[in-house]
Amino acid sequence: MNFLSTIINYILALGAPVFVPLIMLIAGLIVRMKFKDAASAAITLGVAFVGMSMLISFMVGAIGVAAQTMMKRTGLELSIIDGGWTTMANISWAWPYAFAMFPLQVGVNILMLMGNKTNTFNADLWNVWGKIFTAFIVISVTTPIFGRGWSLALAFIIAAFQIVMELNAGDIHQHRIEKLTGIPSVTCTHRMVFFGAIYYPFDLLLRKIPVLNKPMDAAALRQKVGVFAENHTIGFLLGIMFGIIAGYSLAATLMLGVQAATALMLFPMISKLFMQALSPISEAISIYMNNKFSGRKLFIGIDWPFMGGASEIWFAVIVAIPLTLVWAVILPGNKILPFAGIINIALIVPAYLVTKGNTLRMVILSIIGIPFFLFVGTQFAPMITELGLATKAINIPAGQLISNSSIDGPVFTYAFSFLFKFLQGSFIPLLLAVFWACSYFFYAQELRKETAQETTSIEVNQVPEA
């Protein structure tokens, strides 16, 4: 068992830029791609992941530091350190039962594919740590209620439920994602898309406001305001605004403007690499599936970065930074100081999918969504710190709490991890679980209806004239 754990942990420790392309290379060879074509696509995918990671790190180093400076100027002291998603991943992988989650995810995916319960092959196996994280929180919450044995069983049951829902989310989002990105047969199986269910009822209300229901993606804005809607111009203006608020010197403010412009201009370029890498693999898988299973289409589920070419995402991400800091100051009970998670992709990508890239609605939804992230980050801090101290995965000073201000799918993770707290008289997690489930049901209905209508329309248009 220890040998298997060592093997799995070693492979996963390679990181997403190595591990995911390796999975895609193997998938390409299975569906009869030539080795040189599969290898080229896999390497390009690795380059795309590294490029996106470098740009995000660049943004954190520039804009994140400015945000921290803004916070210091308020003189506010918040006690919980924001370690970001990388710290959470490192702690999760150090959990003693982490190795068992890998075969669980693969097994559930295979069973659902064989039973025709999903059309998504989840290649995002590196992010299995998200299920590990959920399972650990479940054990921390339920051990005092049920004891160690039952809590461990519950942890893996809820983790399996999360795996099923990620595959389902991949299925229902695929058509909309393909329309937004232009990449065929690819979807997102990351748990961050679960937060779309929280946004959905609010977005239904926003759609009833005429000015908010008009096309307002990057292309529409460029037609209205020209160069002021270009990525580099938006980035420069936002960077200047950040520099002024942070109290930077003129030179530092201008540099921050250029750095923000650089990041926003390069994101679409990096995103094209995902299309270049994924298109030949997805095409080969589609041909293979049509030959093996008549009429059945297989989707490839991966992490969010292939959507990173959308200007709308980065505009909303940057605008959300000062909004996050404001919420951190005024939200009752918040104890987490946003820093490592200040570039909160998990806040914006679901808004992008729900609104189909309507930037104004994305910003409004982010204002609604930020408190959920801060609340959950504060609630999870004692347990995350406990795991970090127990595993010694990271060095945590005595008396210090650590958490993450951008936990993916915060409502889902909190609601189903804390679900059994109702036995101790706390009904908030149960109510949130019911709210999430109901919202997800109706959101899924809309996505399926949209897919069915547009698929039927395409088939009708393709019928040859008599």
Least confident of 242-256, 383-397, 429-443: 383-397
**CA 208/CA 442 separation, integer angstroms:** 17
- DSSP percent split of the chain into helix, strand, coil, nearest 5: 75, 5, 20
Residue 294's pLDDT band (boundaries 50, 70, 90)?
A: low
Measured N-to-C along each axis, helices 410-417 and 359-391 cross at an angle, to the nearest 10 degrees, of 40
* Cα–Cα distances in angstroms (integers) from residue 354 to residues 48, 82, 158, 217, 313, in the given order: 25, 27, 25, 13, 12
Whether the CB-CB separation of 309 and 322 falls below 8 Å is answered with no
Which of 268, 273, 275, 118 has its CA nearest to residue 184? 275
Contact at 8 Å (CB) between 369 and 199?
Answer: yes
CA–CA distance, 192 with 140 (Å, rounded to integer): 22
Q: What are phi and psi of 401, to 5 degrees?
A: -100, 145
pLDDT at 259 over 80: yes
Min mean pLDDT across 107-121, 262-276, 282-296, 404-418 is at: 282-296
pLDDT category, 466, cuts 50, 70, 90? very low
- What pLDDT, on a 0 to 100 scale, did the predictor assign at position 227? 47
- 250, burial (CB in 10 Å: exposed 0-12, middle 13-18, buried 19+): exposed
pLDDT digits (tens, 9 = 90+) for 299-358: 989 888 888 888 889 888 888 888 988 898 899 999 888 877 878 999 999 999 999 999
Inform me whether the pLDDT recorded for 220 exceeds 70. no
Whole-number Cα distances in Å, 11 to 22, 173, 194: 10, 29, 27
- Report pLDDT digits (tens) over 124-143: 877 888 999 999 999 999 99
pLDDT value of residue 461: 58
- What pLDDT is stored for residue 464 in this prediction? 54
* Tens of pLDDT, residues 58-94: 776 776 677 667 667 666 667 788 877 777 877 787 7
Task: Inform me whether the pLDDT recorded for 419 exceeds 90.
Answer: yes
Range with the poorest average pLDDT among 379-388, 419-428, 444-453: 379-388
Instruction: Answer yes or no: is pLDDT of 249 > 60.
Output: yes
Q: Among residues 307, 339, 334, 46, which one has the least CA distance to residue 192?
A: 307
The proportion of the chain whose per-residue pLDDT surpasses 70, expressed as a percent, equals: 84
Nearest to 176 by CA among 457, 460, 452, 461: 452
Instruction: Indicate the pLDDT class of residue 432, thresholds 50, 70 and 90.
Output: very high
- Average pLDDT of the segment spanning 216-241: 66
Residue 177, amino acid: I
Sheet with 120-122, side-by-side order of all strands: 120-122, 299-302, 186-188
CB-side neighbour CA atoms (13 Å) of 24: 33
CA dist., res. 14 & res. 20, Å (int): 9
Nearest to 166 by CA among 145, 146, 195: 195
- The C-alpha atoms of residue 260 and residue 240 are separated, in whole angstroms, by 9
pLDDT score at 30:
82
Q: In this structure, are residues 131 and 162 in contact, taking their beta carbons and an 8 Å threshold?
A: yes
Residues 6+ apart with CB under 8 A from 327: 334, 370, 371, 374
